[in-house]
Structure 1
Amino acid sequence: MEHYDLVIIGAGPSGYAAAMRAVDLKKKTLLIEKSTLGGAGVKNGALSSKTLWELSRDMLAFRKNLERYHLEPPKAVWHEIQTEVRKAVHERISLYQSHLNELEANPKYSNYIHFVEGEACIESDHIVSISTLTEDLLVETDYIIIATGSRPRHLPNIPIDEKYILTSDGIENMDDFPESMVIVGAGVIGCEYATIFSGFGQTKVFLIDKGDTILPFEDPDVVAVIEKNLESHGVHIHRNSSLSEIETKDGKVIYKLDFADGEQKTFTVDKALVSVGRVPNYENIWKDAVPIKMGKRGVEDHETHTSVNNIYAVGDITADINLVNVGELEGRYAVEKIFGEPKKKLVYENISTIMFLNPEVAGVGYNEKSAQEKELNYRVVTTDYSTIARATAKRNTQGFIKLLVTDDDEMKILGMRVVGEQASAAIQAVALLISMNKGIEELAECVHPHPSITEGIQESVRALLGKSILKSGLLKGKVSCYCYDCQKMEKVSMY
């Protein structure tokens, strides 16, 4: 029986990252994947959906530019869009596969990495079975990392067939743009797909929202911008509604909504997209005799360590944040924890996120809603994109930067949200300062390239310090600074 230092089950973002960190540490590693190399981080997930978003954004900008010159914009062709998405997925999978092939063929690395395509099962804490197309294998290992990812959640009252009523897994199989589509779920992914299909301009989108606003975890000023743009591109938001019935009939989707005011309405569309979260892939991964504890949202873990001494879990199978960058972080951390001592503690407070909406929304740390839930006193500055030269040059000044700091002389950074063009490019410096538990002085006098969106962050910091170029409160709606008192639950202007 072949013996390994480490067996990793799942070659998605977290498993692949874990394997590469184990190679760094010169550990004999077996990486197992039963379907697609790269997992949902590539296929039917992050890469494919974000490629769709980029193409949709390009099409929306193209249409706007043609309208500016009074030209009739062409229609997007779904077959061509599908082809580009599949090319992107193929390129990424090919990159991973070529990299693995080179590692296995290179004498410097070949003793430390082996890849098997097959279905794995943990027979005991040190034995893993693998079923491939040609043989069944048993291997022995010192340690195991489970990185089997997640899949779209199904609800018992929704008859998903991946033809008319779809999850994200079924989108690539559509024949054409539907004339109409209802999206069940107004969280990040649901809103992203509403942005994508409305952006192409060929689908009337309906979005079902249980509450009176989408993205219930975000601040109202962020939500207001996103809702305004969705509705301006024809998205109809069913607010305060719940889905009571949905069925397919004569090639159409018929759904019934119950509204908070007691009204009931029935609608007919071409397609339905169900976006109500994801569930971990844990079925048949380990035998009943292996005592891995499960929680309500996934494998219970303490800094990636499961209830079994030598077994670890990373990525979407755990109850932590389900993001590609978090999965990679956890995968690398688990390997370092197994074979040594990580230099940094695993923390989630400085995780940068991006929501692929219109405009994009990037965030790190607390927003106002979460800071108030934690009963924190804070100072906040909001700087409108119209004050940023780069946004003006791009002829797109919709958006703002909002920065939260502690309400004391240190003014340590609590969090930031950026809504607008190039939002994701503006977040990293602040994420670094949060991880270093630093204040804002470092950003105040840093020389940023001009013109750039990051200059808006610098002006925000200067405003909090009382030395901004554009003085807070003088230009209505442009730059504002407030203190929030959690005891009184009110904001007071700083200047």
Structure 2
Amino acid sequence: MKKLTIIGSGPAGYTAAFAAARAGQAVTLVESEALGGTCLNSGCIPTKTFKSSADILDKFRHMSEFAVTGSSQAAIDMARLLERKNRVIRLLAQGLEKSCAHLNVAVARGRGRLVSAQQVQVTAKDGSTQRIDGDAVILAVGSRPLELPALPTDKRHILTSDGVLNLDRVPASICIVGGGVIGCEMACIFRAFGAEVTVVEGQNRLLPLPAVDEEISKLLHRELKKAGIKVETGVTVSRAEVGDGMVRLHTEAASGERPSVPPPFEVESVFVTVGRVPDTEGLGLETAGVVCDARGWVQTDVFLETSVPGVYAIGDILGPGKIMLAHMAAAEAECVVENLGQQSKPCDYSLVPSAIFTTPEIGCVGLSEAQALAKGRNVRCVRLHMRELGKAHAMGEIAGLFKLVIDAESQAILGAHICGPHATDLIAEAALAIHMGASAEDVARTIHAHPTLAEGFGDLCRIARLA
């Protein structure tokens, strides 16, 4: 029986641990904090718990439109929301603990330090140490929020995304620095909670990610403005002054494209959501000989093995050069466990769906229009507006778009982009279609139930077939 040591228990670490244990390996999972990593404790799950409350608040405020009478003066109770968030986290963490016990995965509590592919040293919070011997090591320690010199966090007025999830009240006014996924999600949540929100993004659009189609970014920008969220693109925060319970922010143009910038303005709180850095302090990478890039992200080959034979790396520790998503981390974990000792299947990053929980939601998979054109593909794009679906009208959520990127010659589906209610769920069919090599014709001939939102993808492919 081979022995495997995994440092870090987020989606990458626990997925690898469970897969390896099921394959008959003896697994030790090293974790210095709570099981579940960033995703469970300060990322995916708590933010979606907040978002669920935000969605209900939005419904309450529009209850008269649904012929529901009664008080519409709903408000968020942050103390109870924090209790609910912590309860959800505890429940899921207990599930991970039970899975470890059921699969005989040993859990070593403490900070892991890589000694070699055969040895990891674990230092507990009381200072005691133990050495774990094995045949291979997987590094899955994840990342932490990036802090900006111009915006030093104080955990009161200037917060990282971690600190935001522990607020016991809703600030009256908020500036969110960074219009990426986390920033846009937080903007929608706290606007629903009643805050005045401004988003500042250095690039020329919200969600400036290659995988997010520019048309979808523009649609989200429009909907955020409709919701009363102020958006400033092409601008960075150059300086912050804290005083009298407020933060005064000074901005500057991020590039020559913007001729003017907003004058200094004051907010009660600033949320810094500009990116993440590897959480590798004390991991012993340099001493062990693990090669990292200039920013500290671990470098691997296509099988996710580092420069040290027998030491693998998965999840956020690989950085933005890969794909920093929980479900990709889990896929990397499965790949490494499958390849241990044989290295026959490179990790595939060609088809990774994204789920963005803004209002409206965004789901995308495959190539954006710009990416397809950059690859020299002859493409055509087909669109269907969410308002064309009867279910969307019944729900009172008609803002949104289905967009398909198709190879004009082969008719293969290259990418799908959805913005609207439940887009994060709807994108799964598109991902399966592209993975299976289905054409728009194949999807169009698949009967979709009516009235549903899912039939929007079927209608979109029907349009593509006839166009």
With the shorter chain as reference, the TM-score category is: over 0.9
Task: Tell me the equivalent position of 2:172.
Answer: 179
| Alpha-carbon contact 2:57-2:74 (below 8 Å) kept | no
Task: Tell me the equivalent position of 1:246.
Answer: 240
Runs of 4+ in 1 over 6 A off after TM superposition: none
Task: Tell me the equivalent position of 1:169.
Answer: 162
| Alpha-carbon contact 1:9-1:32 (below 8 Å) kept | yes
Task: Tell me the equivalent position of 1:486.
Answer: none
Question: Would you say how many aligned residue pairs link Structure 1 and Structure 2?
Answer: 454
Q: Select 1:27's aligned residue among 11, 25, 28.
A: 25
Matching of residues 343-422 of structure 1 within 5 Å: 345-408=346-409, 410-422=410-422
Task: Tell me the equivalent position of 1:470.
Answer: none
1:11 shift after superposition? 0.6
**How many Å separate the matches in 2 of 1:326 and 1:264?**
38
1:98 shift after superposition? 2.4
**How many Å separate the matches in 2 of 1:235 and 1:179?**
13
Matching of residues 25-174 of structure 1 within 5 Å: 25-66=23-64, 71-101=71-101, 103=102, 109-110=103-104, 113-133=105-125, 135-174=128-167
**How many Å separate the matches in 2 of 1:67 and 1:389?**
16
SS in 2 for 1:346: coil
| Alpha-carbon contact 1:198-1:230 (below 8 Å) kept | no
Q: Select 2:221's aligned residue among 204, 223, 227.
A: 227
> Amino acid of the residue matched to residue 441 of structure 1?
E
SS in 2 for 1:279: strand
Consecutive unaligned residues of structure 1, counting only runs of 5 or more, are: 104-108, 467-493
| Alpha-carbon contact 2:21-2:27 (below 8 Å) kept | yes
**How many Å separate the matches in 2 of 1:287 and 1:229?**
45
**How many Å separate the matches in 1 of 2:285 and 2:251?**
42
**How many Å separate the matches in 2 of 1:464 and 1:345?**
33
| Alpha-carbon contact 1:159-1:247 (below 8 Å) kept | no
1:390 shift after superposition? 2.0
455 and 37 in structure 1: CA distance in 2 versus 1, 3 angstrom threshold: same
Matching of residues 297-308 of structure 1 within 5 Å: 298-303=297-302, 304-308=304-308
Q: 1:139-158 CA distances to partner (integer Å, 9 max, x unpaired)?
A: 22110000000000012222
SS in 2 for 1:174: coil
Matching of residues 7-18 of structure 1 within 5 Å: 7-18=5-16
**How many Å separate the matches in 1 of 2:122 and 2:2?**
14
Q: TM-score, normalised by structure 2?
A: 0.92
1:66 shift after superposition? 4.2
Worse overlay, 320-329 or 331-340: 331-340
| Alpha-carbon contact 1:18-1:328 (below 8 Å) kept | yes
Structure possessing the higher radius of gyration over alpha carbons: 1
> Amino acid of the residue matched to residue 216 of structure 1?
P
Task: Tell me the equivalent position of 1:480.
Answer: none
> Amino acid of the residue matched to residue 300 of structure 2?
D
Q: 1:15-73 CA distances to partner (integer Å, 9 max, x unpaired)?
A: 00000110111011111101120000111111111111111111111111146657542
| Alpha-carbon contact 2:4-2:134 (below 8 Å) kept | yes
Q: Select 2:332's aligned residue among 330, 341, 355.
A: 330
CA RMSD of superposed structures (Å) = 1.9
**How many Å separate the matches in 1 of 2:285 and 2:337?**
23
Q: 1:394-429 CA distances to partner (integer Å, 9 max, x unpaired)?
A: 232221211111111x31110100111121222222
| Alpha-carbon contact 1:404-1:414 (below 8 Å) kept | yes
2:270 paired with 1:272: yes
Worse overlay, 395-404 or 323-332: 395-404
